[in-house]
Chains A and B, each alone.
Chain A
Amino acid sequence: MSHIKIKLHENQLQFIKDTCKEFNYNAGDLINILHKLQDKFGYLPSEVQEAVANELKIPTAKVYGIVTFYSYFTMVPKGEYPINICLGTACYVRGAEKILDEFKKQLNIKVGESTPDGKFSLNCLRCVGACGLAPVVMIGEKTYGRVAPDDVKKILSEYQHD
């Protein structure tokens, strides 16, 4: 996993402290605390995890263990346009993996990563409830149905204008 090193601003640190306080510094609420922080920051960089560990008085390694266990948590900031490829059963049997490979090739990143310019991030999910449109790709809130590998380049070009 690639990591990004940042320095927290005073108000960000304060938000972390307030959140931990809100949960009475209860280590049993670690997952809820991390949810709230990821909602706020978009991801959970190492400095955030360390600050949480300090507040809750638990080892940073434990926090990192939780963050890396649950796929919802991420240590990489999402791109401006987050790409989600559905790998649910219906999409999968209709060739979602080939679509995923094409996105990886076009963007030159792996699943869970973002492009160096911060424009796109690539992730997978299981079933968006649009199986009739399989295989499905979501970019931000926009849904693309019946995607073929050849369409990928064109889809990405829609976001290249700026």
Chain B
Amino acid sequence: MKTVNITINNIPLEVPKSTTILQAAKMINIEIPTLCHMKLEDFCIENKPAGCRICMVDVKGRRNLVPSCVTECTEGMVIETSNPRIINARRTVLELILSDHPFECLICPKNGKCDLQSLAQELGVREIRYTGEQSTYRMDTSQAIIRNPEKCIMCRRCELMCNTVQTCGVLSAVNRGFMSVVAPAFEQNLDHSPCTFCGQCVAVCPTAALTEVDQTGKLIQALADPDKVVVVQTAPAVRVTLGEEFGLKPGTIVTGKMVTALKRLGFNYVFDTDFAADLTIMEEGTELLNRLTKYLNGDKSVKLPILTSCCPAWVNFFEKNFPDLLDIPSSAKSPQQMFGAVAKNYFAKQLNIPREKLVVVSVMPCVAKKYEAQREEFRVNNDPDVNISITTRELATLIKQTVQDFNSLPESDFDRPLGESTGAAAIFGTTGGVIEAAVRTAYELYTKKPLPKIEFEELRGMEWIRKATVDFDGLKLNIGIAHGLGNARKLLEEIQAGKSEFHAIEIMACPGGCIGGGGQPQHHGKSEIIKARQKAIYEEDRRLPLRKSHENPYIIKLYEEYLGHPMSELSHELLHTKYFQKQPEIIIEND
């Protein structure tokens, strides 16, 4: 490998050729402030439009300061990362950005978590010397995401996620100069765009230009209503990330504390989406085996591969981009919606109350779940199966408002019957987890033998697209896994071209799966945080006594007492769904 010799702040250093100054400085623990730059190391995602000009450094012999995020080191380069000239330049740049940014930090949804705010704090900005016109834009509130372009600083991280990683192509820089902003085509509303609501734009936005639709107010009202019975379900990926909002190390498992906090918030029953994840496996696993058996028996009406359908952004993606493939995803609803259907139809009956009296709340790592809960087909007489969906971040805000010290809370267990779950459900929160859970159950149902080994290492990891073959006692099952919608697109195009070798494919829209979801605590570009969350997910699986969905005693009971068997008529009615072709339309919003 070719290297070059450079000097940073008088420290001599040898770095590989084509290392940027920013990377080189990091090697010797010299921090250079950045704003638009973002690098998710483990996913090979890097945003460096060199647009903000905060990371400017002084290179000896060059007239102008250079942006360290894109300037590569060359032989003999002498670099200074902080001197009065640099400090002055950075401050000026920041003041100029701030001069066109609303001053409403105190009531901003990103207050305390905003990269722009932290930078202003770090650089000690006390006054803005520049006054003048501020750009004004229309706010766009969709079913899941709010765009507030006035807070956009043109870092273009969202554009990278939306175009390069997710290949949705919704967001692009539009207009010119002072009026430029990141927006959908024709500055139309997200609801009318090809947006899947995956929320990766929200996950990387340094300010509050992109945030989730806040439903905490609506939730507090429901909790305060004496006529309602309010139940909550928590997604598998929430318990391994919630602690981060309270200063705990990424990867800390806080299941017990979370349950206590939810009880103290006033929920009548604290249940678990993991229960519904086990139910999903029963339905989806059975559907997989049915389709597989028919296919192997030569039934030409059956198509393979079967695709998982737990991820609402992924469902949106194929409905909007692959209308010809609507018959191959599993018809099983997502765990959130299965839970809603079981709660409103089975649990409400147990309580002897009408479904309208039961308020189902979900805590999700996701913003697309807000949209999913509002889909037409998931409501009966205009009463949605899931009434309110909040993100991990929103739950943290609620806990801060009510329960003072999260970290010293005692641990409690979920309520029964909809709170019992297995390790198979716990791993739903990571890429590879849903298909591993499905394989654990499908193997035993198909072979009628116990699994020789519960953990399928070959299905795990963080690579974008993974392939593995699982031996079902002689039957070789080819499994594909993709996370990130751009990678999903590659697998779907293979299917369209008739080149797919898979029997089953798991897709999750977000990098890393739900642990990297758009509703999770901000990772600020540190992909090691997402890896720590993944480790925690597998740890949660290992510490549970039951690790296969079909062994969950409450699932067995639910089938005995109510549903009959997987894929029964009642299962079909409550737990399965249909997909619809959704071509984006041009609807222009005039100011």
Contact = CB atoms under 8 A, between A and B. Distances in A.
Nearest to A71: B176
Q: What's the dominant secondary structure at chain A's contact region?
A: helix
B184 A61 contact: yes
Interface in B166-209: 168-176, 180, 183-187, 193-194
Contacts of A47: 586
- Among A53, A61, A68, find the residue whose CB has the most chain B CB atoms closer than 10 A: A61
B256 to A, nearest CB: 45
B186 A65 contact: no
B588 to A, nearest CB: 4
Contacts of B172: 59, 61-62, 64-65
A74 interface: no
A64 B187 CA distance: 9
A68 B176 contact: yes
A162 B185 CA distance: 38
A59 B590 contact: no
B170 A61 contact: yes
A53 B333 CA distance: 33
A81 B184 CA distance: 32
Nearest to A4: B588
Interface string B145-172: 0000000000000000001000011111
A61 to B, nearest CB: 4
Given A3-B590, A5-B586, A71-B176, A59 B186 contact: no
B156 to A, nearest CB: 11
Interface in A44-58: 46-47, 49-50, 53, 58
A19 interface: no
A50 B586 contact: yes
Contacts, number: 57
Contact of A69 (B168, B175, B184, B588): B175
B176 A69 contact: yes
A1 B171 CA distance: 18
Nearest to A57: B169
Interface residues of B, number: 21
A51 B549 CA distance: 48
Contacts of B163: 59, 62
B590 A2 contact: yes
Interface in B434-477: none
Contacts of B588: 3, 5, 46
Contacts of A49: 185-186
A127 B90 CA distance: 38
A63 interface: yes
Contact of B185 (A1, A2, A64, A70): A64
Nearest to B180: A69
A123 interface: no
A60 interface: yes
Most buried by A among B176, B183, B185, B586: B185
A68 B183 CA distance: 12
Contacts of A68: 174-176
A65 B586 contact: no
B384 to A, nearest CB: 31
A62 B175 contact: no
B177 to A, nearest CB: 9
Interface string B197-225: 00000000000000000000000000000
A61 B176 contact: no
B174 A59 contact: no
B186 A64 contact: yes
Given A3-B186, A46-B185, A47-B586, A60 B173 contact: no
Most chain B CB atoms below 10 A, which of A3, A58, A70? A3
Given A61-B184, A63-B185, A68-B176, A46 B169 contact: no
Given A68-B175, A68-B176, A71-B176, A61 B183 contact: yes
Chain A CB within 10 Å, residue with most, of B163, B169, B171: B169
Contacts of B194: 59
A2 B590 CA distance: 6
B175 A46 contact: no
Given A5-B586, A68-B174, A62 B186 contact: no
12 contacts: A3-B590, A59-B168, A59-B169, A59-B172, A60-B185, A61-B170, A61-B174, A61-B193, A63-B185, A64-B185, A68-B175, A69-B180
Given A50-B185, A59-B194, A61-B193, 18 more contacts: A5-B586, A47-B586, A59-B169, A59-B172, A60-B169, A60-B185, A60-B186, A61-B169, A61-B171, A61-B172, A61-B174, A63-B185, A64-B174, A64-B186, A65-B173, A68-B174, A68-B175, A68-B176
Interface of B: 163, 168-176, 180, 183-187, 193-194, 586, 588, 590
Rank and list the top 6 A-B pairs by shortest CB-CB distance, nearest first: A59-B169, A61-B172, A60-B185, A61-B185, A3-B588, A65-B172
